[in-house]
Amino acid sequence: MIGRSPSQKFLMIGTILAGSGVAAGAFGAHALKEILDAPMLQVFETATRYLMYHAFGLCIGSWAIARYPHPGLNQSAAIFIIGILLFSGSLYGVSLAGIRWLGAVTPVGGLTFIAGWLLLGWGVWRDTLPRTTASRTS
């Protein structure tokens, strides 16, 4: 990923995470239905749903980084990745491995998601002039 813009990097990561979310959803709907009990399957589905929401958020952040030159936008995209690891990762650990103490990490991931969305909105709001195609090429 050397030589790529932050926007390109975050878009690539977002699309990989979205594809992973689709795969996790299919895995949960088909393979885990017979293995996990209903409450743990619900935990797995919550992890997957929030993975998808924030993979899309990462793609939106990527677009905003390319359009608005505010440093908070790079931070918001990075925070979405951290949030996915904390929130969805902890719920996957609880549901698949039975590591119950990971449930204590989940709210931290949720707060991270909130911070990412706030930074994304703030970064766009703070910059009143979007970048134009001409400014990107010069």
The predicted pLDDT at position 39 comes to: 96
The predicted pLDDT at position 74 comes to: 92
The domain spans of the chain are 6-129
- Give the Å distances, CA to CA, from 21 to 2, 15, 38, 55, 59: 26, 10, 20, 8, 14
pLDDT digits (tens, 9 = 90+) for 18-69: 999 999 999 999 999 989 999 999 999 999 999 999 999 999 999 999 998 7
pLDDT digits (tens, 9 = 90+) for 102-137: 999 999 999 999 999 999 999 888 876 656 555 554
pLDDT level of residue 84 (50, 70, 90 thresholds): very high
The predicted pLDDT at position 73 comes to: 92
